[in-house]
Chains A and B, each alone.
Chain A
Amino acid sequence: MEKRSAFERVTLARHPDRPGTEEYIRALFTDFFEQRGDRLFGDDPAILGGIALFHGRPVTVIGQRKGHTRQEKMHCSFGMPNPEGYRKAQRLMRQAEKFGRPVITFVDTPGAYPGLEAEARGQGEAIAQSLAAMSRLRVPIITLIIGEGGSGGALALAMGNTVLMLENAIYSVLSPEGFASILWKDSSRAQEASEAMRLTARDLLELGVIDRVLPEPEEGAQADPQAVYRTVDEALSQALRAADRIASPTDHRRRRYLEMGRRLVGQERG
């Protein structure tokens, strides 16, 4: 499994034919009803969300959408959400809580959109409020990292009680290009950065950031999407069954995220 380099996984995670949120929703759920708009400003096509049935059970499903054709990609800003996308997600999550539906999130984004209007409308505040909304949510959240988990723009949908990750997906503090450009002032060293960042599913499992790695076909998810849907379907069913046994999803999530990195904390005398 580890014979593939981190950079090869980065390439696979970004493969144009890799199944995205739309495909997973179509394959795993029935009666999907898309909910649009944040009721404040607009509707962001880079975040797709709504109500659906998962094996007959109502759930709220939300994920970043990248699009496949050139036109779709432009329309979805290549999967980089704007503030209204995150605010739509918050609205859907709160509604899920009202109706007692579990929330299932699919993460696949290079990051939040770094544009002038996005900043004017409070990109940072929107992501922060998403984190706050997830930390307060009284229904379980199951997160699946299916492609690229880039930065705060990914985390804003990724605070699951359980976080599952596909074998060739990546999840990192910044894109390898951004990392190389900040730390080495050279974005062309992305390959080197990929190896240094510990962004593969295996690494993240070791670091306690995710709970489970889901295997992909040898050539990657795009080679046999049906097989991946079966794997994800099974893992999701299992995760939902486990989530049903959690007495307080809020407390469970709180413990999970307050624990992040605690193993590394030490004391030094001045």
Chain B
Amino acid sequence: MINDGFSNRRRQLLRLKVLRERRDPENRVRTKAEGVFFPCPGCGKAVSRRSWWEHQNVCPHCGFHRPVGAYQRLEQILDSGSFKELDAGLCGGDPLDFDGYPEKLRRLRETTGLQEAVVCAKGRIGGAGAVAGVMDSRFLMGSMGVAVGEKIARAANTARREKLPLILFCASGGARMQEGILSLMQMAKTAEAVTRFQDAGGLYVACLTNPTTGGVTASFASLADITLAEPGALIGFAGPRVIEQTIGQTLPEGFQRSEYLLEHGFLDAVVPRAQLRGELIRLLYLHGKGGARHGEAQRV
């Protein structure tokens, strides 16, 4: 009996270790495979894995921004040791009884080490407390179903109760088709949650990363007080392919990219990844030293 309990515990710990490695691919890279080169999708030049890691997945030659996993992003943004995950085990259901969906989720949980397409956490950024949510495009394109909507809403709620700023990194293909209409309803839910938080005087900063499209763009991602984006990120409501089919012509170069949105008045700034943490520290500082003034504003 005791032995059984012990080996179970050991098995569980080993599994956790494997999952942690999977969700943080770069951790593994640090120790293994760091001498392996692979080409930059932007300029085609060979970049070593070590170099990708050192530059936070940004090409040192052309500045191409490769995706970053949710845990990795939190590690880049939060003060080290301040990370505390919120609603780590929260999951949704299968409202359509959709063929193969539960199995797909199970497989993705195994291969990515993620529970869902967003990771929410409490932590500090330059000493200031904050609630952060990061979407991960490896998990069903970062699509928003019930679990994602619920986690975002809860994060906004935590930020409101604890008078902390809310920082959301968006990366999503849109609504999660496999959950049907309830995915659409998460747009309403997240809009409710972030507006309520903002009306209570909360600071909400959104950072749009590649890609941010569909129902996420058309809900909480577009409602922030300050909207930032990483360079070259695809940001839009309809996908480029759908638009091309509608208008029957190819889209101009750079259409729906961060720089295009900045030019059209939908972003405050395009911020390269290496400067993101610094900008966030400044924004939190501007809203009150250490975010301390947060929540004092009264809605008239």
Contact = CB atoms under 8 A, between A and B. Distances in A.
A263 B180 CA distance: 15
B221 A198 contact: no
A152 B192 contact: no
Interface stretch (A56-64, A168-176, A216-224, A238-246): A168-176
B150 A135 contact: no
Interface string A171-186: 1111000110011000
B192 A135 contact: yes
B150 A257 contact: no
A198 B180 contact: yes
A13 interface: no
Closest 8 CB pairs of A and B: A264-B93, A124-B217, A114-B238, A261-B146, A124-B237, A131-B191, A128-B222, A260-B185
Interface of B: 16, 19, 88-96, 98-99, 115, 145-147, 149-150, 153, 175, 177-189, 191-196, 199, 213-215, 217-223, 235-238, 242-243, 246-247, 251, 255-256, 264-266
Given A125-B222, A128-B223, A152-B218, A119 B181 contact: no
Contact of A265 (B19, B91, B181, B215): B91
Nearest to B236: A119
Q: Which of B96, B115, B187 has the most CB of A within 10 A?
A: B187
28 contacts: A114-B242, A115-B246, A116-B255, A119-B236, A124-B221, A124-B236, A125-B266, A128-B217, A128-B219, A129-B223, A131-B218, A131-B219, A132-B195, A152-B184, A173-B175, A204-B181, A209-B181, A209-B182, A258-B153, A260-B185, A261-B93, A261-B149, A261-B179, A261-B189, A262-B150, A264-B94, A264-B182, A265-B90
A171 B91 contact: no
Contacts of A264: 92-95, 146, 182
Given A152-B215, A261-B95, A207 B182 contact: yes
Nearest to A154: B184
Task: Give chain A's interface secondary structure class.
Answer: helix
A132 B191 contact: yes
Interface string A201-240: 0011001010000000000000000000000000000000
A135 B191 CA distance: 7
A212 to B, nearest CB: 16
A253 B191 CA distance: 12
Contacts of B217: 124-125, 128
A270 B96 contact: no
A263 B185 CA distance: 13
Interface in A112-128: 112-116, 118-125, 127-128
B133 to A, nearest CB: 16
A123 B236 CA distance: 8
Interface in A186-201: 196-199
B180 A199 contact: yes
A207 B181 contact: yes
